[in-house]
Amino acid sequence: MSGTRTLDTYRLLGRSGLRVSPLSLGTMTFGADWGWGADRDEARKIFDTYVDRGGNFIDTASQYTDGTSEQLLGEFTADNRESLVLATKYTMLRRPGDPNSGGNHRKSMFASVEASLRRLNTDYIDLLYLHAWDFLTPVEEILRGMDDLVRSGKVLYVGISDAPAWQISRMQTIADLRGWSPLIALQIEYSLLERTVERDLVPMARELGLGVIPWSPLGSGVLTGKYGRADLEQRIEASAAGTRKNVAAANGSLTERGLAIADVVQEVAAQLGKTPSQVAIAWTLRNPGVTSPIIGARTAAQLEDNLGALDVEFDANQLDRLENATAVDLGFPHEFLSRPMTRSVTFGDLKIEQRP
């Protein structure tokens, strides 16, 4: 990334013509139902700040803060719905004890979409994600259900989140062959703490035309420097409810490795005169497969800070420090195929320039 960007420097989402901002506003923080989110007034300030700066890409889900997130967005978007790209997700259990109120199947999909439409106070969803892979529903059922929703006009585009790369690539191929609505977006955890997606998910998305939308680019807050070694000594319940520290524990981010990486981020931030949050978010934007990281602020001040990531530029030394501190083993076959011996046997002395 070179030069200053702004929220109204739009990018195409995957292999679609849909224009979205380079940072997406995450609204899992909208509503205090889980004990750590923003109340209505603060959520409104966050929303207005983002939109006033030119932001147009809003992310929510059917069960974020038990539905309050969608309800607040339905209120906030009443005057400018058409100018926004509103994304929501289905999968999560909506009624405990009812096995069909969650999952990836058609019944769950259609019921969740209808509920989201009511809460969002809209007659269409710009982007519908499958929220999490359930390992049960046939891919043809998912794809045909999504295509039916698109043909009905209730959904404009479809995407997928938190699923195996081989299943996603299979789905995209089936959609292409059958003329069904293709997947245009892939939402995955991606940050300096979580780089294993670089093995298959990110390159798969680039090859098959899915824009990558990273969630938790701040590693559940660990990369901001807000946690220390003393937090590791506390017994923390892993849960979406309670505090943000509970979420960090649930996501496996609050570890000795995570804190060591956060130290490096803080050192680079000090060199740049930026905040650790800005450095962490800006690093994800450097990946050419990434379209729009999701920023989930709890206050308008946090959002303002996060937006400063669009101004960050790294030098080679700073990038090396971040890369070396966070590198992961790509495993087989990637490591094997990149070895000099393997390349020599395969290509000899040929010099072949790879695609960017």
Task: Please identify every residue annotated as catalytic.
Answer: 64
Phi-psi region of 194 (alpha: psi -120 to 50; beta: other; left: phi over 0): beta
Distance CA 89, CA 122 (A): 15
Q: How many CA atoms lie within 13 A of 286 on its CB side?
A: 18
Q: Which residues pair with 128 in a beta bridge?
A: 88, 158
Distance CA 103, CA 87 (A): 18
125-130 and 19-20 strand pairing: unpaired
Residues 6+ apart with CB under 8 A from 117: 123, 124, 125, 154
Nearest CA-CA partner of 70 in 125, 30, 110, 24: 30
Residue 150 buriedness (CB in 10 A; 0-12 / 13-18 / 19+): middle
Task: State both tokens at 19.
Answer: 């224009």
Residues 6+ apart with CB under 8 A from 296: 26, 27, 28, 29, 216
85-90 and 24-26 strand pairing: unpaired
Preceding amide of 293 cis, omega within 30: no
Residue 133 buriedness (CB in 10 A; 0-12 / 13-18 / 19+): middle
